[in-house]
Structure 1
Amino acid sequence: MAFKVLWATLLPALFTLASAHEKGSAMYRPMTTVTRGGQALTPTPTALSFLARRADTSSAVAPSASAYALSSSFSINSNAATRTYDWTIASETGAPDGFTRNYITINGQMPGPLIEVNEGDTIVVNVQNNLDDTTSIHWHGINQNGTAYMDGVPGATQCPIPAGGSFTYTFTLSQYGTYWYHSHTAVEYTDGLLGPLIVHSVNDPLVRGTDFDYEQVLIIQDWYHDEARTIATDLLSVDGYDGTAAAPSPQSGLINGKGVFDCSQLTDSTGCSTPSFPEFTVEPNAKTRFRLINGGSHAQFYFSVDSHTLNITEADGTPVSGASSVHRLPFHNGQRYSAIIDTNVGSAGDAYWLRATMNTDCFFSTDSTLNTTAYAILRYGASTSEPTSADWTDVLPDDCVDLDDSQLVPIIAKDAPATSDKVVAFDSSFGTVEIAGIDYNRFLVNSTSYTNYVYKPILEAVAANGSTVVNSTNVANALFEDSVWTGDIIINNLDPNLDHPYHLHGNDFQIIARGTGTLSIANAASLNYNLTNPVRRDTVVIPGGGYAVLRFSNDNPGVWVLHCHIAWHLAEGFLGLIVSNPNGIAALDYPDSIQALCNARPSGVSIDTTEPGRRKRGEIDTLIGGDIVKRGAMGSRWSRKRMINQRR
């Protein structure tokens, strides 16, 4: 049941991305402590300490667009520091796009605070959970070398953080690039529990002052007016959400926590107020690096800036070259890119639209009130007029795919190993599972829909009893023994009309092959692989009816999940996992706090509890009920070409 929400006035907030030397009157100081060698250091000012807000937002949950401008005063160095953050996770009421609803914040803001660190730093995040539900934090793209128990996935690497409880995440960064964090409990991140994580390095070939002058983080989200738990509950029923098992489209998009929804589209617009657009000010004749994060739950976005071409310089933490005059950059859930624009096409006072446009080709149906494009205003210096710039005229592609791998050439070259020691395959599909004699629509990986026993972490079980304890009837899994140095993962997307962004935890991978059809392990041996410096990333889009072969180094002991990053598909069971180096898993240094989380299971809650949105074999989850839609009936309906206005 959705929460009842109260109307609150959304004060307009416009933000400026200014040059690094400018100072503003609005101060934002997150609870952050930095130490080096046991000595407390003065925290590096966050962006809001030198960027001014156009309006006071103290009476509402403040979007944090300007909090994500990276300051040149941040010292990029190799002197390892410990950076400590104190977070309170809570439910708030506000109107990010003008429509008032409940959502989740960290320290009163959504998205959450910026974490900005150096490679080699240790992060300590003290999480206080003030929600009425359990929670967790996953560090998306962070490999967690030696700290698999900090990956933040209930049922896989930890027990959930209880309502009213707390937990401290501690890990050291051994990589650099653009990353993010989000809840991995149920569908909480859809309701706002997410934020940016930027890791600098002296080894990064992309250098401020040489390759770019300013940096701005942009988190792009799709935004729903129904709360995520309500949507997931309905999807998992046999009636589905609004009468279909297909994942719904959102109502609008957000850029750094703010969007503009057209309230006139609602029959009853009570509690809705169309706000102003977010704004960023840039210096003319300079280069700005946008660090782009798709923090959405369903939508693939096309990012563009009117009249400005994009130079793509990073993909999922890997510095790249090869795509230098891009009009629109496609990026799907969980993916990150850096795109540099040269502000030399206008003069002081000019303004341009910055656009994040949803690719509706990725939706089964579209909501009748969907605002497909999230806008922001990019200003050359001080001005107040609304842009008159035009979008690029080239037609949006009629597909849902990644930017071509050949345009993403890693700057730091690394050829793939010539051979692999083990090859496994994960086949994903949409079908039905029988629960207590009733068929329910679910996603399947190797014919298994994931059942998540949140109080039985698989990592803990493998550490104690070895890899044989992983139950294949609950989760599709593959073992990469300690003797395996290089592994191949074949992913076959068996659904001809469904494209999926697949994300692997604990590792990045090299994409050594793509194609159409189904690839067997036997046939994979005869493929002509791309072994010459293939792109390295952690999230890949595989079109319907296609496959990809991912090669990775099996050097990070852990239980690493592989799942679709469309939140609704994950809720419907779209997850498998790999067990890497079981002997190494047993040798990890597990902190007492991990077991303490499991010991904090509330009295009366069974250890066999499954996460809402999953099911226990032989039982009907409390979220399930209603009628069914058979897969055979879905075949003709599951077409992205048929856009249905499904809202009431």
Structure 2
Amino acid sequence: MGSSRMIFVALFLGLSVGAMAGDPYLFFEWNVTYGNIAPLGVPQKGILINGQFPGPTINSTTNNNIVINVFNNLDEPFLLTWHGVQQRKRSWQDGTLGTMCPILPGTNYTYEFQVKDQIGTFFYFPTTGLHRASGGVGLLKINSRDLIPVPFDTPAGEFDVLLGDWYNKGHKTLKSILDSGRTIARPDGIHINGKSNKVGDKDAQPLFTVETGKTYRFRVCNVGLRTSINFRIQGHTMKLVEIEGSHTVQNVYDSLDIHVGQCISVLVTADQAPKDYYFVTSSRFLKRPLNSVVVLRYANSNGPASPELPPPPPENSAGIAWSMNQFRSFRWNLTASAARPNPQGSYHYGSINITRTIKIANGHYKSDGKLRFGINGVSHKDTETPLKLAEYYGVADKVFNYDLVKDEPPHEDDKKVVVAPSVVNGTWKSYVEIIFVNNEKTIQSWHLDGYSFFAVATEPGKWTPEKRKNYNLLDAVSRNTIQVYPNSWSAVMTTLDNAGMWNLRSEMRERAYLGQQLYFSLLSPGRSTRDEYNLPVAQLLCGIVKDMPKPTLPYA
């Protein structure tokens, strides 16, 4: 944990409404600063947390209460979001500009949330500007309680792996490029935990060290800006055991595609000759591929890694088919015990009646001659007053209009775009089907805050209602991020049962920054604290609500 301060407190402290007595608290103090980093060997100013890149790992257990006091020592406003952590009833602290005010330079803010009814591998990252391009990312893992059996033997150790594409330009330069109406284009390389070695580098130090005969868990997240990545370990196979909070059927793979924003866990047994091996990454679906390696070393290593790397998957249409088939091989392990949010943990999700179908089509546009991205012809624009606070204080009509995004996208040739804050009304506890439609030539990746969804299908071509017969309605993985291949579609199902305002966004940071996102507003009929906790006393206020008193009742 570096210089993080962490204290375990087993008694209920009364710090938040609804936190369960007896559930432990984990306290952290984080200082966010600039510092010199060089993931690709080119020095630049990065964003560090307690002097680290990647940032400190949060190692928690189901139902722990997490309290993180974040000090912003940058020269810009700053926010962190907890990617994949559902934060039941707490969208106030979701860490997006639509839900909360940013932490101003020289000030601090304390996040507090409970990892309620979850297990698995997640991460955090900054949502302000293009900060994610310069660091501020870290792993957040939630372990099962001791009483809950895990469907594999306890590994000899765990390795946290944050990988992603990287730009040698700093975040301010990248932001200025986007603000000028241009694309940030192709990244410069791929980093693995902030490192990138070259094959044959005799001075490369091992990133992972293993002992012969032992099995290790690798928790891997793609925290990049836009690039899908394939990873593999020279001479070793990988057993998939978890995807974004769900135990999976334990298939064995030679390599795995991981798309932007996704996290998976694999088991790897050190069953080869004791020497060095390469952990290998390759970009996917780029015209000019990117590659990177780091060293995995046996403790009694007696030789360097072979320069002959395991080949990447095919590219072009064959590569898309390969990756799509791999997605279809992922199955939820229905016999495994685990924490599951209700009612989404239902084993019979396929028999629940769909009450609403929303088709989401990504698109790129020009507005005043500048590049914009959007959803169904609407390009989201952040506002000075967070949308959630405007709704809470009853002044939403002064900040945004609901339902600019319709449930059906316009014709794909329609290039008109509305640039405005985008909020879609959701019906409390409705069971929705979301169809992500990608008519573009590049792969997409989508994430929904506050929820897990059942990833039931991804296919090429056009979606029609008849395609539902191809859905996996038995054991689709419950997860929070899904890819959509070029000229293809993907379908998910979820119950809108987590009250609040939650961000649906492209995980391609360039696209989200330029408008490919929206917010779902979920208000329970009674607007009770049983459904959504009240505004925290210490919540930051800004914009037109800055000087308003904090209400004592929900939505007063």
CA distance in 2, matches of 1:552, 1:38: 32
Corresponding residue number in structure 2 for 1:561? 503
Letter in 2 for 1:163: P
What is the 5 A alignment of 1:287-436? Answer: 287-324=215-252, 326-347=253-274, 350-359=275-284, 361=285, 363=286, 366=288, 372-383=290-301, 385-388=303-306, 390-393=308-311, 395-398=313-316, 399=319, 401=323, 404-412=326-334, 414-418=347-351, 419-433=353-367
Does residue 515 of the first structure (1) align with residue 444 of the second (2)?
no
Closer, same or farther in 2 for the Cα pair 1:141/1:593, shift >3 Å?
same
Corresponding residue number in structure 2 for 1:267? none
Corresponding residue number in structure 2 for 1:121? 64
CA distance in 1, matches of 2:394, 2:280: 51
**In 2, are the aligned partners of 1:462 and 1:586 still within 8 Å (CA)?**
no
**In 2, are the aligned partners of 1:122 and 1:173 still within 8 Å (CA)?**
yes
**In 1, are the aligned partners of 2:239 and 2:268 still within 8 Å (CA)?**
yes
Closer, same or farther in 2 for the Cα pair 1:600/1:279, shift >3 Å?
farther
SS at match of 1:593: coil
**In 1, are the aligned partners of 2:211 and 2:300 still within 8 Å (CA)?**
no
Q: 2:377 aligns with which of 441, 447, 450?
A: 447
SS at match of 1:532: coil
CA distance in 1, matches of 2:449, 2:490: 17
Q: 2:389 aligns with which of 424, 439, 460?
A: 460
SS at match of 1:330: strand
Corresponding residue number in structure 1 for 2:521? 579
Task: Count matched residues.
Answer: 501
Corresponding residue number in structure 2 for 1:547? 489
Corresponding residue number in structure 2 for 1:250? 187
Q: 2:133 aligns with which of 190, 194, 212?
A: 190
Corresponding residue number in structure 2 for 1:491? 436
**In 2, are the aligned partners of 1:136 and 1:152 still within 8 Å (CA)?**
yes
Closer, same or farther in 2 for the Cα pair 1:234/1:134, shift >3 Å?
same
CA distance in 2, matches of 1:257, 1:139: 20
Q: 1:504 aligns with which of 424, 448, 460?
A: 448
Closer, same or farther in 2 for the Cα pair 1:190/1:384, shift >3 Å?
farther
Corresponding residue number in structure 2 for 1:31? 5
CA distance in 2, matches of 1:37, 1:403: 48
Higher mean displacement: 157-166 or 385-394: 385-394
Closer, same or farther in 2 for the Cα pair 1:213/1:600, shift >3 Å?
farther
Q: 2:475 aligns with which of 533, 536, 543?
A: 533
Closer, same or farther in 2 for the Cα pair 1:575/1:394, shift >3 Å?
closer
- Give the deviation of 1:580 after TM superposition: 2.1
**In 1, are the aligned partners of 2:40 and 2:168 still within 8 Å (CA)?**
no
- Give the deviation of 1:345 after TM superposition: 2.1
- Give the deviation of 1:146 after TM superposition: 1.3
Corresponding residue number in structure 2 for 1:481? 427
Letter in 2 for 1:506: G
Closer, same or farther in 2 for the Cα pair 1:280/1:451, shift >3 Å?
same
CA distance in 2, matches of 1:387, 1:526: 47
| Structure 2 unmatched runs, 5+ | 14-20, 336-346, 405-417, 548-556
% same residue? 23
Closer, same or farther in 2 for the Cα pair 1:516/1:388, shift >3 Å?
closer
**In 2, are the aligned partners of 1:223 and 1:252 still within 8 Å (CA)?**
yes
**In 1, are the aligned partners of 2:385 and 2:545 still within 8 Å (CA)?**
no
- Give the deviation of 1:465 after TM superposition: 3.1
Closer, same or farther in 2 for the Cα pair 1:395/1:337, shift >3 Å?
closer
SS at match of 1:465: coil
CA distance in 2, matches of 1:226, 1:517: 36
CA distance in 2, matches of 1:384, 1:593: 57
**In 1, are the aligned partners of 2:282 and 2:312 still within 8 Å (CA)?**
no
Corresponding residue number in structure 1 for 2:107? 165
SS at match of 1:303: strand
Closer, same or farther in 2 for the Cα pair 1:402/1:149, shift >3 Å?
farther
**In 2, are the aligned partners of 1:95 and 1:101 still within 8 Å (CA)?**
yes
CA distance in 2, matches of 1:581, 1:524: 32
CA distance in 2, matches of 1:393, 1:171: 43
| Structure 1 unmatched runs, 5+ | 1-26, 40-77, 263-272, 603-648
**If the length of structure 1 is used for normalisation, what is the TM-score?**
0.72
Closer, same or farther in 2 for the Cα pair 1:410/1:351, shift >3 Å?
same
Q: 1:200 aligns with which of 143, 167, 175?
A: 143
- Give the deviation of 1:477 after TM superposition: 3.9
1:418-470 deviation line (CA, Å, top 9, x unaligned): 2212222222111222xxxx3222112110111111x3111122233398754
Letter in 1 for 2:90: T
- Give the deviation of 1:110 after TM superposition: 0.6
- Give the deviation of 1:391 after TM superposition: 2.1
- Give the deviation of 1:558 after TM superposition: 1.6
Closer, same or farther in 2 for the Cα pair 1:395/1:207, shift >3 Å?
closer
- Give the deviation of 1:578 after TM superposition: 1.6
CA distance in 1, matches of 2:395, 2:466: 29
**If the length of structure 2 is used for normalisation, what is the TM-score?**
0.83
Corresponding residue number in structure 1 for 2:18? none
CA distance in 1, matches of 2:160, 2:136: 17
CA distance in 2, matches of 1:600, 1:481: 26
- Give the deviation of 1:403 after TM superposition: 6.2
SS at match of 1:149: helix
Letter in 2 for 1:311: K
- Give the deviation of 1:390 after TM superposition: 2.9
